[in-house]
Amino acid sequence: MEIERKFLIQKENLPDLSAYSFHQIEQGYLCTEPVVRIRRQDDEYYLTYKSKGLLAREEYNLPLTKDAYEHLCPKADGIVISKTRYLIPEKNDLTIELDVFHGVYEGLLLAEVEFSSEEAAQNYIPPAWFGEEVTYSTRYHNSNMSKGVIPPVE
């Protein structure tokens, strides 16, 4: 079960990211209902299934080989999303996953925080540098973004 809250971040509010570890991510969607995603994260490859949901939804990851990923990538529908994901330690042993998007969504900054329970998610008070919460908006699901649902950031 994936339980997460999502927030938009304004560039001027960003902390210094040079101190944090990060991953280079590329992902495409073979299907968006249900969500079937392929992802390259650094040198690892995955096929992911996600159920419907906003705050909480089922998620299953299966390993892929590089060859399988490269075979499936051209079959992805729409935009293949590219982003750098920074891992920022947060209070209560949580981690902020800050996605800095590239390509068509260059300039979009989206923070996600995952929780062990819906109660913990509901009780979370985000840091002051977070912007608008978009947890309950499907607009910022990467699967919808792959369809060009939100306009590119200028």
Residues that are catalytic: 29
Using CB atoms within 10 Å of the CB of residue 47, give its burial: 0 to 12 exposed, 13 to 18 middle, 19+ buried: middle
**Among 45, 4, 7, which Cα is nearest to 127's?**
7
CA gap 86, 18 in Å, rounded: 9
The amino acid occupying position 41 is Q
In the three-class reduction of DSSP (H, G, I as helix; E, B as strand; rest coil), residue 139 is classed as helix
Decide: 45 and 27 in contact? Cβ < 8 Å. no
CA gap 87, 97 in Å, rounded: 5
Give strand pairing partners of 125: none
